[in-house]
């Protein structure tokens, strides 16, 4: 299933906003952003890749999928850092919002993602193997 036009637009706007924040504050943000929506609800969320060294708290379904791959927050086999990618952060943000709205969604299999975009140049980035294993719908 493809992402909605509204979500694609929201993701593009999100990338522009994060690029401006990076320039303004000189923060070290991740380089990729992505949008996600639940096919049965109208909520949409965007996030960027980042490493939160103090707090890798994910919802149980997402946490168990990531833990099957390896240790969250550590580099796996010379690849990227597990849990660093924009996709798990966006999915976790959507789960948080859906559960806050009392929808009690626990499964991420119906989530629809936009293409991953480089924050600075808006180039499409391929999904990493970790994200493909965590979200088979990618």
- The pLDDT tens digits for 112-126 are 999 999 888 889 999
Taking the C-alpha atoms of residue 64 and residue 100, their distance in angstroms, rounded to an integer, is 21
Taking the C-alpha atoms of residue 34 and residue 90, their distance in angstroms, rounded to an integer, is 7
- With CA atoms as reference, report the closest residue to 47 among 38, 56, 62, 34: 34
pLDDT at 19: 78
Residue 91 has pLDDT above 80, yes or no: yes
Q: What angle do CA 4, 7, 9 make, to 5 degrees?
A: 110
pLDDT at 34: 96
Average pLDDT over residues 14-40: 78
Q: Does residue 89 contact residue 66 with C-beta atoms inside 8 Å?
A: no
Average pLDDT over residues 63-81: 83
DSSP codes of every residue in 23-46: HHH-----SEEEEEEETTS--EEE
pTM of the model: 0.89
pLDDT at 93: 92
Reading the block at residue 76, the tokens are: 């796996």
pLDDT at 55: 64
**Tokens 């000189």 label which residue?**
26
* H/E stretch holding 99: helix 86-100
């Amino acid at each position: 299933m493809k992402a909605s036009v509204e979500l694609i637009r929201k993701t593009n706007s999100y990338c522009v906003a994060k690029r401006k924040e990076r320039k303004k504050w000189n923060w070290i943000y991740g380089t990729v952003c992505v949008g996600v929506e639940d096919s049965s609800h109208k909520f949409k969320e965007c996030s960027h890749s980042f490493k939160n060294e103090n707090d890798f708290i994910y919802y149980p379904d997402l946490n168990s999928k990531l833990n099957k791959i390896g240790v969250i927050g550590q580099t796996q086999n010379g690849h990227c850092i597990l849990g660093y990618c924009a996709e798990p952060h966006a999915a976790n943000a959507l789960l948080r919002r859906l559960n806050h709205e009392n929808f009690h969604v626990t499964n991420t299999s119906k989530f629809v993602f936009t293409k991953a975009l480089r924050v600075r140049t808006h180039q499409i980035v391929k999904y990493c193997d970790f994200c493909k294993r965590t979200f088979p719908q990618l």
